[in-house]
Amino acid sequence: MIKTKEGFRITDHALNRAKNRAGLGGKSIIRFVSKAWNLGLGLRDVDGAMKLRLLDEKSQHGGNLKVYGHHMYVFKGKTLITVLNLPKELWSHWDNRGDILCQA
């Protein structure tokens, strides 16, 4: 397990998933954990198909889900437990996030 300066923890499982699914390794995963937590889209920020997908993943994994880039980061508290691929049909929700956040 890795502990960051910002108080996040990254499990070994999350490290492996981030490397395999998002191509993140070394120091980049530490940067992306902070970005996902602070800048990622959560359940309150999305609707429609994206919200349904996040609710489905939340029921399977529990915790707090954040979408950052084309991946979903699953946290329990400030511990990253896994990284999931965002289905390609939902990429536009992230790519158009400025439109989503302006409506909030």
The reported pLDDT for the residue numbered 102 is: 42
What percentage of the chain carries pLDDT values higher than 70? 92
Task: Give the chain's radius of gyration (CA, Å).
Answer: 13
Does the structure show a pLDDT above 50 at 28?
yes
Q: How large is the angle between the packed helices 12-22 and 27-39, nearest 10 degrees? A: 90
What element of type H or E holds 16?
A: helix 12-22
Q: pLDDT-based confidence at 38, cuts 50/70/90?
A: very high
Q: What pLDDT sits at residue 80?
A: 95
Nearest-angstrom CA–CA distance, 28 and 33: 9
Host H or E run for residue 53: helix 48-61
- The domain total for the chain is 1
* Residue 58 pLDDT > 50: yes
Quote the domain boundaries for residue 32: 2-103
What's the pLDDT at 103? 45
